[in-house]
């Protein structure tokens, strides 16, 4: 039986950037398996997916719990068929910004466990599934990292380290999966207006007004979603390993 629509898995998709990505992919013909640590608050996103004639379902699990990954991938495939696209979007911020010399091991471990360790092993589980499953659709893995892959913020060092690791994750999986025709990409958002950035919105409003972002505005989840969906389409497969900055030119070095 031919799978009518490709299936995309979007992690951290209840709201914010992940929700925007899930909805955009639904608009472009994908069915969507959303994952998040809990289901509460996903109703609006699921309704938006359904309004685009796509199937959507939320699979709740903790990305940091790597022992659950294989089972979740199996559940998703049983519901929606072979996975054609994985979007690694889930991530957590530091619990408290502060002096680099005061970073606690507990904060470091939690951020790295979710943002890097969890993402690595979930990508591994989905890649194994992709290689073991026939698909009539292009296959892709897109990781949403951050300009913090290269731009250092000393008040949230553990977050920057986790995102820097995702830059290497993209290179490694691009090389491993290239012969199998699976495109692997990285999208690096800049300053994006979401619930995660609400607490520092006033600070960034001022910094943007002072010239931090050359385009002189916040980014939106839709800005990131359009870039991710384009890469997920399969049209850029020979560009595997590429990075797309979605930051209004924030990360371009300037004099």
Sign of the Cα pseudo-torsion (126, 130, 135, 139, in order): positive
CATH topology of domain 7-242: Rossmann fold (3.40.50)
* Residues in contact with 152: Cβ distance below 8 Å, sequence separation at least 6, in sequence order: 160
Q: Which of 159, 173, 185, 218 is catalytic?
A: 159
Q: pLDDT confidence of 135, banded at 50, 70, 90?
A: confident
Q: Give the chain's count of helices (H) and strands (E).
A: 8, 7
* Predicted confidence (pLDDT) per residue in 219-229, tens digit: 999 999 999 99
Mean pLDDT of 35-60: 96
Are the C-beta atoms of residues 245 and 191 closer than 8 Å to each other?
A: no
Known active-site residue 204: no
3-state secondary structure of 183: strand
Q: pLDDT confidence of 1, banded at 50, 70, 90?
A: very low
* Cα distance between residue 177 and residue 130, in whole Å: 10
2 pLDDT more than 60: no
């Amino acid at each position: 039986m031919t799978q009518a629509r490709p299936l995309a898995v979007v992690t951290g998709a209840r709201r914010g950037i992940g929700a925007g990505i899930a909805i955009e992919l639904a608009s472009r013909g994908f069915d969507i398996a959303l994952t998040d640590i809990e289901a509460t608050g996903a109703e609006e996103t699921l309704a938006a997916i359904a309004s685009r004639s796509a199937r959507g379902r939320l699979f709740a699990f903790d990305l940091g719990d790597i022992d659950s990954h294989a089972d979740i991938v199996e559940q998703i495939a049983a519901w929606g068929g072979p996975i054609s696209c994985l979007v690694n979007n889930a991530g957590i911020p530091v619990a408290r910004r502060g002096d680099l010399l005061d970073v606690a091991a507990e904060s470091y471990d939690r951020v790295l466990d979710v943002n890097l360790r969890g993402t690595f092993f979930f990508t591994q589980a989905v890649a194994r599934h992709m290689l073991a499953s026939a698909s009539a659709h292009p296959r892709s893995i897109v990781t949403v990292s951050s300009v913090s892959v290269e731009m250092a913020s000393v008040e949230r060092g553990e977050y920057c380290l986790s995102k820097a690791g995702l830059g290497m994750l993209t290179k490694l999986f691009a090389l491993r999966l290239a012969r199998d025709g699976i495109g692997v990409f990285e999208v690096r958002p800049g300053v994006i207006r979401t619930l995660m950035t609400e607490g520092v919105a006033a600070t960034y409003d001022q910094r943007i007004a002072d010239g931090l972002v050359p385009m002189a505005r916040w980014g939106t989840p839709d800005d990131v979603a359009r870039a991710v969906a384009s890469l997920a389409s399969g049209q850029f497969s020979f560009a595997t390993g590429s990075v797309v900055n979605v930051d209004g030119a924030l990360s371009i070095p300037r004099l």
